[in-house]
Homo-oligomer: A and B are copies of this chain.
Amino acid sequence: MTNKPTIQDVAKKANVSVATVSRVINEQGGVRKPTEERIKQAIKELRYVRNAVARSMVRKETKTIGVIIPDICNPFFPEIIAGIERKAIGADYSTTLSSSNESKKIESKIIQSFVERGIDGVIITTADENGEHLQPLFDANIPVVAVDRAIKHFDVDTVLTGNREGAYEAVRHLIMQKHEKIAIIRGPQDTTPGLERYKGYCQAMEEYGLPIKEEWICDGDFMEDSGYELTKKLSTCKEMPTAIFSSNNLMSIGAIKALYDMSWVLGKEVSFVGFDDIDIATFTNPPLTVVSRPMRNLGELAFQLLFERMKQDPLVKNQKREFIVTPHLIVRQSCKRSVY
């Protein structure tokens, strides 16, 4: 960032004023053809590139959006990001990405940095759904879209999945296979996905008059290790479950690993359904039945909503919008009830 030619240099070289150069740079028209050519020539010769910082300064926009996610290594999020970026690049926005590692504190810092930088909008899967820590964003009047997890403290556009329905369908599927003793590995109950998926589980169980033993309810943290540990724990139940519902992808991986390690035979001694599809699903024996959702679409939708906000589309003013994308069950073979 040194000695870069400025609009001044171009103006001088082309024998015009900076105003005229600015006009052709921004394609505002109203410049005679020959002048324009001269300017373009100068730009090329000088290798001039416009300075977005200075431009942001006067325009009061950075054409940049911030994205905050809790864990970039969970394959769910790269898909979301890919969706966001796809749309963003089309709208000529850059994407600044940060991972909070599920820490509210880190998230606050990221937010601070975002508002300092004058980001135009934020898409966030928050580490803390209370959301008071998003205050600075609202102070600065920066539009926010929540993805996958809601935000309680503020009214923001939100893109969620049908968590409850998805979980309900999954458990119902288990029940249809004559399962009655179904355990759940829950996610954090202070997150929308964690709680709603649990509710879906309960709903299905209740609807079919099935009892829910306390020992079948395990609390995980959406990470692989907890899936592993909790599955081991489930194997020690006084009343052994014949099926397990796992609340997310990473915990499913852990769970399956545990099953293998304990020789608790999948699809024979115990059935399994997980929320979110995973690579390993078709490699286990039998393949895993899972709840799947169009992740890339979630990201695209999120950007779309944010974009409208950033443009201050009058149509969407003052109304919180909530989109719930419907997931669907991919039935493979891990739920068949066989001999027990």
**A contact residues vs B (CB 8 Å cutoff):** 1-4, 47, 49-54, 56-57, 60-62, 64, 72-73, 75, 77-79, 81-82, 85, 89, 94-99, 106, 109, 112-113, 115-118, 120, 136, 139-142, 253, 256-257, 260, 278-280, 282-285
Contacts and interface: CB of A to CB of B under 8 A. Distances in A.
Contacts of A256: 283
Given A99-B82, A279-B253, A282-B257, A116 B1 contact: no
Contacts of A136: 47, 49
B57 A139 contact: no
B79 A73 contact: yes
14 contacts: A1-B62, A1-B140, A53-B57, A53-B62, A53-B117, A53-B118, A64-B117, A72-B78, A73-B82, A75-B78, A89-B109, A94-B117, A95-B98, A283-B284
A61 B117 CA distance: 12
Nearest to A278: B279
A143 B256 CA distance: 45
A112 B116 CA distance: 23
Contacts of A283: 256, 260, 280, 283-284
Among A98, A257, A260, find the residue whose CB has the most chain B CB atoms closer than 10 A. A98
A72 B81 contact: yes
B279 A112 contact: no
Given A97-B96, A280-B280, A2 B141 contact: yes
